[in-house]
């Protein structure tokens, strides 16, 4: 799906960390103005993918383009210019712990604009209002709940009116109410502000409910991609996809897997231990 | 026999690994210093950040520095009086205390205390910012953490050290005065007079200031480097703070010898 409507493209990207291959010739096209969910089990390099997009790390080979800019080879000046147009919501919020919620939201404005203080205050108020946390403006991050901290971080990420929003596991560790709030915020902000959003998550139901396009990663490769409906249609012919989307347990038919399952069942007392069973049968024979 | 040989080879391999790790660490530090040097002057476009660090690093270290300076002065006064009285030279107590403090003990003891109090705090703060992805978040906001977080803390350490060492020496001289003049009865005019006559503004005071500036820069560099390059785990933070204190203390003592040989050597 490499079209001119793609905001981000990964072209044959390879990336390793030590001996561990994270991406092995990955091709992804993230459409402009849509919500794209990058999904996969833990440890498949979803966060690494966001860092590649932000230019914090460079691919070993291949090209990552963000709005036409080759971020792996870009000068630091053009990289900084690109980052000013993106916002990122980190998994734990990454709020500055020595600043209040309002100061956190004001941080990028103070760093990148010469706006007068009353104007900055007004913009901070608007951003905090957008995430429904105006009353928490004066709170320090330590005084905020996990969900509130993530919403303050979202307001901070939106402070510079970005074109691209990156969300790193936004639903992890959140209660159902907060998940609902975040889902509504991500979807409505994307629509209202015309953003391109990349959402990295392993929360299948939540991510599929708001995503326009989904990419599923496993073992350094793309396993499936397409709209949520297209993905569901692919499920029957793709064992991993079915297992991942339905949250089914491993069906390990290998000898090692079977032995491990047997040992586990024996340890739990669900199966008689072979040594005890043999002793019992010998006793029976003696009698 | 084979067992001994294997143990020897294992030991050699461990030694080699340690040497490689130390070389890699040193290389990282040189690279980091290069990157930091480029940001030192631009950091002055936000002087407020440097003033904040002067407060956090310098002002908050005042209590430990002043109390320690007082005790060191008291001990110097007492020991000096005992030695000088054997030569009937107790009127030189003031200059002995002052020279010991301004040339050596002021910069060195302040630097050792400073490494423990402020250096470890700077390392822990930066390392925790790294662990909680605050530095990463800054980068993604197109804000350079080296310029915004690291450079102001480095400047804070460089400027705090001479001021703290100066105060340490002043309080120490006052401590020496208290024990020598008030308690042991040395003539106050001799105590101050000898200091005025014997102390040289350049040879003694300026050299002491240069020493403390160098120590401040070294401790600042080690503290920010260890914090910035800490492994982002609780164990990593603990190791980084320990390394800051150990490396800073050893560097201060080693550099003190080199600087003393250069400034006051024959």
Q: Sign of torsion, CA A103 A107 A108 A112? A: positive
Residue A1: band (very low, low, confident or very high) from pLDDT cuts 50, 70, 90 = very low
Measured in angstroms, the CA of A88 and the nearest CA of chain B are apart by 7
Query: Which pLDDT score is estimated for B266?
Result: 57
CB pairs under 8 A between A and B: 46
Contact list, A84 vs chain B (CB under 8 Å): 141-142
**Structure-token pair, residue B104:** 């050596």
Query: Which pLDDT score is estimated for A54?
Result: 92
Measured in angstroms, the CA of B154 and the nearest CA of chain A are apart by 19
Query: Which pLDDT score is estimated for A249?
Result: 63
First to last CA, chain B: 54
d(CA A237, CA B110): 71
Non-local (6+) Cβ contacts of A214 within 8 A are A36, A37, A39, A207, A208, A224, A225, A226, A227, A228, A231
**Angle at Cα A124 formed by Cα A118 and Cα A125, nearest 5°?**
90
The beta-carbon neighbor of A83 closest among B128, B133, B140 is B140
d(CA B29, CA A205): 46
For B129, the closest chain A residue by CA position comes to A96
Rg of chain B over Cα atoms, rounded to whole angstroms, equals 22
d(CA B89, CA A216): 86
Q: Between chains, do B141 and A81 touch, taking CB under 8 Å as contact?
A: no
The beta-carbon neighbor of A56 closest among B128, B136, B143 is B136
Query: Where along chain A do the CATH 3.40.50.300 domains lie?
Result: 6-248
Contact list, A81 vs chain B (CB under 8 Å): 142
What is the CA B253 to chain-centroid distance, rounded? Answer: 10
Q: Write out residues 249-278 of A within 8 Å (CB-CB) of B.
A: none
Higher pLDDT, A125 or B264: A125
Percentage of chain A modeled with pLDDT above 90: 38
Measured in angstroms, the CA of B156 and the nearest CA of chain A are apart by 18
Report pTM: 0.83
B12-49 pLDDT, tens digit each:
999 999 999 889 988 999 999 999 999 999 999 899 99
Measured in angstroms, the CA of B18 and the nearest CA of chain A are apart by 19
Stretches where chain B sits below pLDDT 50 are: none
Nearest alpha-carbon partner for A129 in A100, A154, A161: A154
Contact list, A169 vs chain B (CB under 8 Å): none
Best of B134, B135, B141 to mutate (most A CBs within 10 Å, chain A): B141
For chain B, say whether A78 makes contact (Cβ under 8 Å). no
Contact A213, A34 (CB under 8 A): yes
Q: Between chains, do A84 and B134 touch, taking CB under 8 Å as contact?
A: no
Nearest alpha-carbon partner for B74 in B61, B93, B58, B87: B93
Instruction: Tell me the H-state helices in chain A.
Output: 46-54, 76-83, 101-112, 117-130, 146-157, 176-193, 204-210, 228-234, 239-246, 255-267, 274-286
Q: Between chains, do B133 and A111 touch, taking CB under 8 Å as contact?
A: no
Non-local (6+) Cβ contacts of A184 within 8 A are none
Contact list, A88 vs chain B (CB under 8 Å): 137, 140
Contact A45, A217 (CB under 8 A): yes
Query: Which pLDDT score is estimated for B161?
Result: 95
d(CA B17, CA B19): 5
The CATH code of the domain at A6-248 is 3.40.50.300
For chain B, say whether A112 makes contact (Cβ under 8 Å). yes
Q: Between chains, do A83 and B142 touch, taking CB under 8 Å as contact?
A: yes
């Amino acid at each position: 799906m490499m079209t001119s409507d793609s905001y981000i493209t990964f072209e044959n990207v390879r990336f390793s960390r030590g001996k561990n291959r994270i991406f092995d010739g990955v091709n992804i096209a993230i459409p402009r103005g849509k919500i794209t969910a990058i999904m996969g089990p833990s440890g498949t390099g979803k966060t690494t993918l966001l860092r590649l997009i932000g230019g914090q790390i460079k691919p070993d080979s291949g090209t990552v383009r963000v709005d036409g800019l080759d971020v792996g080879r870009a000068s630091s000046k053009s990289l900084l210019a690109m980052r000013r147009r993106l916002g990122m919501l980190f998994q734990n919020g990454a709020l500055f712990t020595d600043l209040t919620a309002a100061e956190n939201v004001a941080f990028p404005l103070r760093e990148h604009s010469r706006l007068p203080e009353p104007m900055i205050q007004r913009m901070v108020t608007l951003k905090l209002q957008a995430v429904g946390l105006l009353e928490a403006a004066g709170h320090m991050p330590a005084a905020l709940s996990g969900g509130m901290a993530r919403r303050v971080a979202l307001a901070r990420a939106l402070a510079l009116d970005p074109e691209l929003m990156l969300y790193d596991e936004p639903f992890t560790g959140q209660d159902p109410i907060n998940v609902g709030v975040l889902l509504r915020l991500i979807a409505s902000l994307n629509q209202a502000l015309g953003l391109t959003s990349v959402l990295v998550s392993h929360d299948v139901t939540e991510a599929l409910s708001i995503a326009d396009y989904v990419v599923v990663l496993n073992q350094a490769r793309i396993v499936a991609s397409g709209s949520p409906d297209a993905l569901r249609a692919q499920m029957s012919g793709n064992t991993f996809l079915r297992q991942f989307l339905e949250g089914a347990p491993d069906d390990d038919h290998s000898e090692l897997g079977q032995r491990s399952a047997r040992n586990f069942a024996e340890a739990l007392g669900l199966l008689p231990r072979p040594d005890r069973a043999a002793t019992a049968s010998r006793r029976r024979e003696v009698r | 026999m084979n067992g001994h040989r294997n143990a020897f080879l294992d030991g050699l391999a461990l030694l080699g690994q340690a040497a490689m790790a130390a070389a890699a660490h040193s290389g990282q530090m040189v690279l980091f210093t290069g990157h930091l040097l480029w940001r030192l002057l631009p950091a002055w476009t936000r002087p407020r950040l440097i003033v904040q660090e002067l407060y956090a690093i310098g002002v908050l270290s005042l209590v430990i520095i002043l109390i320690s300076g007082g005790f060191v002065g008291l001990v110097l006064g007492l020991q000096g009086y005992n030695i000088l009285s054997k030569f009937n030279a107790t009127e030189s107590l003031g200059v002995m205390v002052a020279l010991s403090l301004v040339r050596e003990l002021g910069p060195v003891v302040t630097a050792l205390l400073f490494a423990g109090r402020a250096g470890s705090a700077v390392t822990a703060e930066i390392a925790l910012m790294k662990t909680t992805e605050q530095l990463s978040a800054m980068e993604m906001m197109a804000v350079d953490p080296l310029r915004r977080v690291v450079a102001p803390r480095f400047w804070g350490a460089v400027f705090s050290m001479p001021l703290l060492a100066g105060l340490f020496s002043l309080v120490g001289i006052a401590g020496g005065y208290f024990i020598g003049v008030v308690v042991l009865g040395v003539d106050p005019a001799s105590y101050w007079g000898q200091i005025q006559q014997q102390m040289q503004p350049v040879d003694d005071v300026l050299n002491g200031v240069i020493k403390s500036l160098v120590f401040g820069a070294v401790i600042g560099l080690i503290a920010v480097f260890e914090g910035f390059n800490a492994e982002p785990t609780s164990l990593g933070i603990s190791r980084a703070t320990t390394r800051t204190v150990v490396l800073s203390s050893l560097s201060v003592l080693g550099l003190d010898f080199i600087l003393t040989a250069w400034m006051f050597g024959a």
